[in-house]
């Protein structure tokens, strides 16, 4: 049984808990009458426990009230309703105390169980969220990227639309770490990650930390020209951060190199080919001077 179907049944029970509690209690009374149970409180106590567990204090109280009424009738002196012998009066007192105690006990246990279940669900959601995020930058991690790329690839294969992938590498990042230290390097990566996300927020695309100083962007239903525009926007936005590079070269500020490709998936290729070609384009960007955006070219790859 799926988790969704279980939740649907649970929600149905919660919405109709009052009616269900009444039915459970009436069924218990009918069983008592049919089987001529010597002490009807025993069967009715089961109904009280079930009603309280299903619907909480209110439904348990309704079931308890019906139980006390029926037991009051059952133990009455024949012909004198609600008049009892000394022994039966004692039984009624015990039944009333036991009924109230059971409602309180089961109700408290139900509430504690509900609180713990909610806390566990919240913890599971947080764990799932944390497992999908990169601890340093706060954006999606490599695991999330792998899952989403596979999902997007299959979606675009069905729809026969293009999927684009943009690989981003921070230029001379080792030199930056050597100049300013790893804490500054971490802060630099956080700024770049936020900048990438800022460029994609209006497009609804997906960005992740690919590993080390590399980031990746996945864009569904995006042409190569649109992907190039996104890559250029990210490249310019990072340069505009004006983070000192710490390296004596032609770029006084931290820059990035970008490689990308766009494909319409087919049955004879897989998503790894898209990553491979984007990675080659990134290699071209880095070997041709860095701080550049390069789209994959089959001609260049054959040289």
Residue positions annotated with a catalytic role: 213
Distance CA 265, CA 114 (A): 47
Q: Considering only CA atoms, which of 237, 248, 229 is closest in space to residue 192?
A: 237
* HEC profile of 197-213: HHHHCCCCCEEEEEECC
In whole angstroms, give the CA distance from residue 176 to residue 182: 9
| Rounded-to-integer distance, Cα 105 and Cα 210, Å | 53
Instruction: Report d(CA 231, CA 62) in Å as an integer.
Output: 66
Backbone CA torsion sign across 156, 141, 241, 175 = negative
Q: What are the backbone angles phi and psi of residue 165, rounded to the nearest 5°?
A: -135, 130
| Measured CA angle at 154 (ends 213, 129), to 5 deg | 50
Helix/strand/coil for 63: helix
How far apart are alpha carbons 297 and 130 in whole angstroms? 37
* 176 alpha-carbon distance from chain centroid: 36
Q: β-pairing, 214-220 with 163-170?
A: antiparallel
Q: Are 256 and 168 in contact (CB under 8 A)?
A: yes
């Amino acid at each position: 049984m799926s988790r969704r179907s279980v939740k649907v049944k649970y929600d149905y029970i919660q919405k109709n808990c009052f009616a269900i509690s009444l039915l459970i209690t009436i069924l218990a009374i009918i069983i008592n009458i049919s089987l001529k149970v010597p002490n009807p409180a025993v069967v009715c106590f089961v109904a009280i426990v079930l009603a309280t567990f299903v619907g909480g204090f209110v439904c348990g109280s309704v079931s308890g009230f019906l139980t006390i009424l029926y037991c009051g009738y059952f133990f009455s002196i024949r012909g004198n309703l609600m008049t009892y012998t000394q022994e039966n009066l004692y039984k009624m007192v015990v039944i009333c105390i036991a009924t109230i105690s059971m409602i309180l006990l089961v109700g408290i246990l139900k509430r504690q169980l509900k609180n713990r279940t909610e806390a566990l669900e919240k913890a599971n959601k947080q764990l799932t969220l944390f497992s999908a995020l990169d601890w340093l930058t706060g954006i999606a991690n490599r695991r999330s990227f792998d899952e989403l790329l596979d999902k997007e690839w299959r979606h675009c294969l069905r729809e026969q639309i293009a999927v684009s992938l943009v690989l981003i590498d921070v230029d001379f990042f080792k030199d930056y770490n050597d100049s300013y230290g790893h804490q500054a390097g971490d802060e630099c990566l956080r700024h770049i990650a936020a900048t990438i996300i800022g460029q994609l927020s209006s497009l609804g695309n997906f960005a992740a930390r690919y590993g080390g100083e590399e980031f990746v962007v996945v864009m569904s239903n995006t042409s190569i020209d649109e992907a190039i525009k996104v890559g250029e926007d990210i490249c310019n936005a990072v340069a505009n951060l004006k983070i000192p590079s710490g390296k004596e070269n032609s770029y006084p500020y931290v820059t990035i190199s970008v490689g990308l490709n766009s494909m319409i998936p087919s049955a004879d290729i897989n998503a790894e080919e898209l990553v491979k070609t984007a990675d080659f384009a990134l290699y071209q960007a880095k070997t041709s001077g860095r701080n550049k955006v390069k789209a994959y070219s089959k001609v260049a790859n054959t040289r």
